[in-house]
Chains A and B, each alone.
Chain A
Amino acid sequence: MEKASRPSQLFRNLSAKFAAIPMVLTALVIFVGCTVWSFVYSFTRSKLLPKPLFTTEDLFSIPMPTWLIKDGSFDVYYITGFVTKSFVGMAQYDRLWSNSRWLTSIENLALYAGFALVFSLVVGFILAAFMDQKIRFENTFRTIYLYPYAMSAIITGLVWQWILNPTFGIEKIVRGWGFENFEFAPLQNPDLVMFGILIAGVWQGTGFIMALMLAGLRGIDEDIWKASRIDGIPMWKTYIKVVIPMMRPVFVTTLVLITAGILKVYDLVVAQTNGGPGLSSQVPAMYVYSYLFTAQNLGQGLAASTMMLLGVLIILIPWTIIEFGGKEKR
């Protein structure tokens, strides 16, 4: 039996492969297919409904004398080449990058991303390090810190909108204590509004980062701690010089997860400010939605969403290469 030729690779585990077909098709058609579709149509002047890049009439038409076409008896077209009215090249992208609302969105996102990344990584790690000290009621604390993550962004946004609202929230409470001139209304101030959103975002996301970090910390061998204790190395030094470098894969994965989450931030902003006051808390995802549906300008919306995809790819591709590319060498 063992002498018989091995069945070809293609037919090994046939039932498993068969079972995977629906998922493969879903991934190909929905993820890859729709992404390509969006990309292609971002070069058209599509409004509410998609307009194809070129129509077949233009490919197979025959030149006809003007008088025949003018009286309408022949429904034919001149040869106009492959490029027809719908294709506009980079025009949608030109318009996008000269639109002040889009530029504000990008600035806001950069600000939000910078602060949210640093803050949730640092606080998440510190919280996890505290949790790792064999404290009592660890389960309880872990649940409390992780709870905000279980809440939808819309609810988080609404709750923080109320907390930060000057008429019912923090400002009113502090004034009630006797500080009559206390002012705290970040969501009403165009210069501070992104920080108001940041508070809610960090409040929601940090617990999850803590959980990831804690899992990473638990993966560190007890012997390393014992060794460093014998050598008399202070605890903070062990964390920085030994533990954090050992946790590199956890950090990289966390970084990618947070960044991808930040790029698509939408519901939090919608619930808190809806992009206001004015346009001061707009984010790219709101621009995409607004142009796809409210402005009925599909081409512009798809151009913006392609730029968002590009942002995600810039983060994901290097990560994939670092994490999975070098595997054979190890």
Chain B
Amino acid sequence: MKCRFLIAAALAASVAVPATATELEVTHWWTSGGEAAAVAEFAKAFNAGGDTWIDGAIAGSGGVARPIIVSRIIGGEPMGATQLNHGRQAEELIEAGLMTDLTDLAVKEGWADFVNPTSLLDACTVDGRIYCAPVNIHSWQWIWLSHAAYEKAGVPVPTNWDEFTASAPALRAVGVVPLAMGQQSWQTSGAFGVLTVALAGPEVWLKVVKDKDVDTVMGPAYTAVFEAFGAARQLSDGADIQDWNQATNMVITGQAGGQIMGDWAQGEFQVANQVAGEDYTCLPGLGVNKIISTGGDAFYFPLVDDADIKAAQLRMASQLMSKEVQVAFNLKKGSLPIRGDVDLSSANDCMKQGLEILASGNILPDGNQHLSPDTNTQLEDLMVEFWNDKSITPAEVQKGYASIIADAD
């Protein structure tokens, strides 16, 4: 401890930025290749400021990590800072007064002026106070297509969902799985959301997730989506995989035609040295509706008594939002920055498409901002059961979906 303090003191003296150097434990679930490279940018920036980033990565995606993070905060063993998806996941923690209020810093730095879209900051706000620092925008609305697979099958790379389903038999004929899908429930549920936005349109989707309108679920637009989803589950037969990045890997290696997955898949293509437009194609909104949802990750800072830690938390929050860190992080991660005033000219083809759609304002909130974790879990259970049990008909799952939406809080 003493030794560490000496080193920290020496560092602080040599860099001579802040008066104190503090260790801050940061928990997150960014463990795939692209994600780890991105989070290292945060750590680098934080350490450069004289503090020490203690990395607390939790493997196994948000579903595994969130319970650990939340129970540590509730159990009175809070970390210095943590990743969460903003939205309703931290709602009760904030209401119980377990999170640091960032409002003063946000006002001083004028977060409200540069955060784009503003809905990101709204998702951090409870009763007019700001409790989290958004760090990126993630959109679910993408399908990733493997050029190698389509070359092998001798068919052109599809440009929308209908062409994709039409090309499936050609892929099957050469032993390629048309659609890669991991077995974790959030993946099937997410893919269903993407299909809904693409086929039924954003207004219909919002009516269900935001207004919890049961009649819309039972209506014709949703019926068509459930049928399309029912047809899609045949396309993933033969892919016995669990994790999303294993599914992405099937697309990278040409074992699968495509994958419906959020733009975090981009980082995997980047790590594998693949070039957008040459080795793979990305279609926002499945090529039907060019739209992106603006979910994302945010950092929350649990409330602690220690004044040093509190100061370090605010330093970190300020850094995460800064232009340089935003650019470095998001280029590695393949996500979009939360501020509209940064230069991303080195971004690749897919990210540029995303930036264009963002600039045109064709955006949607993320499902997490309207659905509670309780409702989400039930929907995920329902969709993963439907995807794997081919004896369940689309009509049955539609009824199940409607009853969950009817009970949603």
Contacts and interface: CB of A to CB of B under 8 A. Distances in A.
A48 B384 contact: no
B236 to A, nearest CB: 11
Contact of A295 (B74, B373, B385, B388): B373
A290 B377 CA distance: 8
Given A166-B240, A294-B63, A277 B388 contact: yes
A interface residue count range (under 10 / 10 to 19 / 20 to 34 / 35 or more): 20 to 34
A276 interface: yes
A293 B385 contact: no
Contacts of B93: 48
B377 A278 contact: no
Interface in A118-174: 166-167
B388 A296 contact: no
Interface string A276-290: 111110000000011
B90 to A, nearest CB: 9
B92 to A, nearest CB: 4
Interface stretch (B41-49, B65-73, B221-229, B330-338): B65-73
A298 to B, nearest CB: 10
B61 to A, nearest CB: 11
B67 A280 contact: no
A292 B385 CA distance: 21
A49 interface: yes
B67 A100 contact: no
Contacts of A292: 67
B213 interface: no
Given A48-B92, A291-B377, A280 B70 contact: no
Contacts of A48: 70, 74, 91-93
Interface string A281-323: 0000000011111111100100000000000000000000000
Contacts of B66: 293-294
From A278, A297, A300, residue with most partner B Cβ within 10 Å: A278
A101 interface: yes
B216 interface: no
A101 B388 CA distance: 13
Contacts of A277: 183, 388
Contacts of B89: 296
Interface in B361-382: 372-374, 376-378, 381-382
A279 B63 CA distance: 16
Nearest to B390: A190
Interface residues of B, number: 31
B278 interface: no
A53 interface: no
A296 B70 contact: yes
A220 B96 CA distance: 62
Interface majority SS (helix, strand, loop, mixed), chain B: helix
Nearest to A165: B240
Nearest to A277: B388
B244 to A, nearest CB: 14
Interface in B138-153: none
A99 B240 CA distance: 26
B385 A185 contact: no
A188 interface: yes
A49 B96 contact: yes
A278 B92 contact: no
Nearest to B384: A278
Contacts of A289: 67
A293 B183 contact: no
Contacts of B388: 190, 276-280
Interface in A249-287: 274, 276-280
Interface string B380-409: 011011111100000000001000000100
B253 interface: no
A101 B385 CA distance: 9
- 7 closest A-B pairs by beta carbon, nearest first, are A278-B388, A293-B67, A295-B377, A48-B92, A297-B374, A296-B373, A279-B385
28 contacts: A47-B92, A48-B91, A49-B92, A100-B381, A100-B382, A100-B385, A185-B240, A190-B389, A274-B184, A276-B388, A278-B384, A278-B386, A278-B388, A278-B389, A279-B389, A289-B67, A291-B374, A291-B377, A292-B67, A293-B66, A293-B67, A294-B63, A294-B66, A294-B377, A295-B377, A296-B373, A297-B377, A300-B374
Given A295-B377, A297-B377, 10 more contacts: A48-B93, A49-B74, A274-B183, A278-B386, A279-B385, A292-B67, A294-B377, A295-B373, A295-B378, A296-B70
